[in-house]
Structure 1
Amino acid sequence: MKKLTTFLCTALAVGNVSAQTLIQAYKNRADQVTQTNITNNLQQFSNLGIKTTGSVNNANTLTWIKNKYTSFGYSASQVVEDPFTFGSTSSKNLVITKTGTVYPNKYVIICGHYDTVTGPGTSDNGSGTSVILEVARILKDVPTEYSIKFIHFSGEEQGLYGSSHYANNVEFQSGVRKLDIKLVFNLDQVGGKIGNVNNKIICERDTAGQSGNNAASNTITQQLATCTTLYSPLQTSISNAYSSDYMPFEKKGDVITGFYEYTRSYNEHTVNDTFANVDPVYVFKVAKAAVGAMQHFSTASSTVSAISASKEKPLQTLESVKVYPNPAKDVLNIELPDLRTKNFSVEITDLAGLSMLKEDNKAQINISRLENGVYLCTVKTEGSSVTRKIIIEK
């Protein structure tokens, strides 16, 4: 985590960015964050002990995080271990990928480290870990235009080794960019201290290293602050990003932002960084803000679910409808959730709203006659509909 001697307390009050307004579907999902999940995650993380990079506890924590994603329903192919070595120490990052519907090859990264020093590190950084897990749980079946990578880094405390490895060997390979990253959103020490007034969060912007990405970082961080006030009860301040896992990405020219606790706990890197000293309610509020922000950053579906009034078996949300591949060539597949009704329609229109084709109750749509371009695909059932942007590319 960040060294005490280098903390720049240059927080500035931030107002809302006028272009952003509350999206009800985003708020509904932010409200799915539960205090029980956050508290359990913090307690379980704390119980895993001191997680020094390369230690048994560090490896056990990786397994615990991995099992969380499995319980959320992420497939084995989505959950990838990323091993790295520095000196005589070996450890692993954990990378979970959720594919976007429109820009599958452009990524929004949400990240934080899980290694600790001295104590169990419940705030630094069990808090960030717990928030990322809750964001991943809630967004698992929510369509997002951009792909999301949930990344849990190790080796942060010894010198950002895990994130440096990822930026230098996965994002770039032999100096050539392999991943197109829209932005990196880092969460580090967002636990607060029980007994403090914890009603504000610092939103971090880039002011160091390369100057070419500073303006974009400032814009994204202003948006992060606005999302925070829209989807959580927290107030916001702006300060400078430094000494955490977004910095190796900043050096590569990526746009970065982050969350950091406003009222310092000063328990980091000590035996006092325990579950008993963290503020679970504060972490809960941070998670609501993070869910809102990640939907904004990844352009999540803004459709509000239509729920049947039937008491026997209500209609499930259409938000989990899968439309693939995207880009598509000749055939478009429609995968619906387990709905009460099997009657549905699929209509593809151009961006001007002109209907190009319509099919009823077909899971495979022949699109071979459509020209290359961007279209809207609307899936409708009785009382509910959802629209996806699709690209046809032959």
Structure 2
Amino acid sequence: MKKIAVFLFTSVALQNIAAQNLIQAYKDRADMVTQANISNNLQEFSNLGVKTTGSTANTDALNWLKNKYLSYGYSSSQMVEDPFSFGSTNSKNLVITKTGTLYPDKYIIICGHYDTIVGPGVSDNGSGTSILLEAARILKDIPTEYSIKFVHFSGEEQGLIGSNHYVNNVAYQGNTRKLDIKLVFNIDQVGGQIGNLNNKITCERDTGGISSNNAASNTATQELAVCTGLYSPLQTSISYAYSSDYIPFEEKGYTITGFYEYIKSENEHSTDDNLTNIDPVYVFNVGKAAVGALQHFAVASTSNNNNLQVNETPAKDPLQNIRIYPNPAKDMITVETEKSKQFSIEINDMAGHLVLSSENQNRINTSALQNGVYTITIKTSAGNLTRKIIIEK
């Protein structure tokens, strides 16, 4: 059972940050999460019954997920089944990969488990499953600099068996790291109890295990909290990560963060974890936060043309010809603009403070900046372009 120890981000502070850092394109997409889609996903998940790992219902849920992704336009080549077994039980994880434009071999993993025990598990974890599906639907044709893996784990309820298998056989093989994972973003039990004041979400950070990845997790979780305030109406709290599918990743040194309901519903692992007791509006709001945060972590395009394909550049938009590299950067960033164009550059930290500015300079010295995530805005006569940059020394 989760005992939540927290410190709160005040709504005033979040609103202040939001006023300075909101990226309109990200918000527009977060607002594309619909209550109808979330509720429909929850209903269909519930209809699949008790999805115990290895059961027929568990296989039915896997096939339901695959058909959902196909209906969104993902190809079968983007979907990989990851089979595993324990004892006489067999099941599969499902992995859908959306390739990044600049860093195709570096991944943001957004994950949640789809297996249940005893009841239909509409909160634990139909809620996270529904949000992953909605995020995949909305971002399908949005270019992101980093690749995204949407991962649906099975075997979570039996002791993180599916995620352990994936980490130790796919992400790692023996002592060799095979997947370069920037961040693991886990969503588990965010259904809320109907009737509770469900206006706050817990953002989970790494506080134990391998200590070398704790600082990076803390930074990512702070960013998750900020994004939640930017792109959803929810308030946030910070707690510690444990007992869900991000843990096997943490144990291999990867950076993790996650969402978990703030007021614990206490319905998990029982027949009471059903549609009657869940708060679908809460799931909807968490979904908006997740879509906003996922765009931030994967560095989504800021163009509002949602029909863009990966590597597609709008021919008539001069702002899209601007290149910013490398990203992540160490001591220098190059900004390529059209020659003879007048432009200025502003770099802000995640609190919205201006930390660096220049005019008509293509090479920007960033050696004085600390490691972290920043926004860079290039202002030209044709308009402004804002991108996320990472300083990583």
TM superposition score category, shorter chain reference? 0.7 to 0.9
| Aligned partner of residue 322 in structure 1, secondary structure | coil
2:4 counterpart letter in structure 1: C
Query: What do residues 9-62 of structure 1 show as CA deviations (whole Å, max 9, x unaligned)?
Result: 211102549597110000000000000000000000001000000000000000
Aligned equivalent of 2:143: 143
Aligned equivalent of 1:379: none
Residue 320 (str. 1) matches residue 315 (str. 2) = no
TM superposition shift of 1:194: 1.0
TM superposition shift of 1:265: 0.8
CA–CA distance in structure 2, aligned partners of residues 231 and 343 of structure 1: 29
**Unaligned ranges ≥5, structure 1:** 306-316, 324-333, 337-341, 357-382, 390-394
Aligned length: 331
Shift in CA distance, 12/344, structure 1 to aligned 2, threshold 3 Å:
closer
TM superposition shift of 1:284: 0.2
CA–CA distance in structure 1, aligned partners of residues 313 and 85 of structure 2: 41
CA–CA distance in structure 1, aligned partners of residues 265 and 243 of structure 2: 17
CA–CA distance in structure 2, aligned partners of residues 347 and 260 of structure 1: 40
Aligned equivalent of 1:294: 294
Query: What do residues 78-108 of structure 1 show as CA deviations (whole Å, max 9, x unaligned)?
Result: 0111101111111000000000001110000
Query: What do residues 111-166 of structure 1 show as CA deviations (whole Å, max 9, x unaligned)?
Result: 00000000000000000000010000000000100000000000000000000000
Residue 13 (str. 1) matches residue 8 (str. 2) = yes
Aligned equivalent of 2:209: 209
CA–CA distance in structure 1, aligned partners of residues 227 and 384 of structure 2: 26
| Aligned partner of residue 166 in structure 2, secondary structure | helix
Aligned equivalent of 1:353: 336
Residue 66 (str. 1) matches residue 66 (str. 2) = yes
2:8 counterpart letter in structure 1: A
Aligned equivalent of 1:271: 271
CA–CA distance in structure 1, aligned partners of residues 304 and 38 of structure 2: 25
CA–CA distance in structure 1, aligned partners of residues 384 and 6 of structure 2: 43
**Unaligned ranges ≥5, structure 2:** 325-333, 340-381, 389-393
TM superposition shift of 1:302: 1.2
Shift in CA distance, 264/387, structure 1 to aligned 2, threshold 3 Å:
closer
CA–CA distance in structure 1, aligned partners of residues 387 and 240 of structure 2: 37
Q: 8 Å contact 1:143–1:300 — kept in the other structure?
A: yes
CA–CA distance in structure 1, aligned partners of residues 321 and 17 of structure 2: 34
| Aligned partner of residue 207 in structure 1, secondary structure | coil
CA–CA distance in structure 2, aligned partners of residues 347 and 22 of structure 1: 23
| Aligned partner of residue 295 in structure 1, secondary structure | helix
Query: What do residues 301-354 of structure 1 show as CA deviations (whole Å, max 9, x unaligned)?
Result: 11234xxxxxxxxxxx5x51432xxxxxxxxxx587xxxxx9899957684435
CA–CA distance in structure 2, aligned partners of residues 349 and 186 of structure 1: 31
Q: 8 Å contact 2:100–2:310 — kept in the other structure?
A: no
TM-score with structure 2 setting the length? 0.79
| Aligned partner of residue 123 in structure 2, secondary structure | coil
Instruction: Write the mapping of 1:172-211 to structure 2, written as runs, cut at 5 A.
Output: 172-211=172-211
CA–CA distance in structure 1, aligned partners of residues 116 and 32 of structure 2: 29
TM superposition shift of 1:388: 10
Q: 8 Å contact 1:349–1:355 — kept in the other structure?
A: no
Instruction: Write the mapping of 1:1-394 to structure 2, written as runs, cut at 5 A.
Output: 4=1, 7-14=2-9, 15-16=13-14, 21-305=21-305, 317=306, 320-323=308-311, 334=312, 351-355=334-338
2:131 counterpart letter in structure 1: V
Shift in CA distance, 263/352, structure 1 to aligned 2, threshold 3 Å:
closer
TM superposition shift of 1:386: 9.4
1:184 counterpart letter in structure 2: V
CA–CA distance in structure 2, aligned partners of residues 22 and 220 of structure 1: 17
| Aligned partner of residue 202 in structure 1, secondary structure | strand
| Aligned partner of residue 274 in structure 1, secondary structure | coil
CA–CA distance in structure 2, aligned partners of residues 354 and 127 of structure 1: 44
Q: 8 Å contact 1:184–1:254 — kept in the other structure?
A: yes
CA–CA distance in structure 1, aligned partners of residues 336 and 295 of structure 2: 25
Q: 8 Å contact 1:8–1:240 — kept in the other structure?
A: no
TM superposition shift of 1:258: 0.4
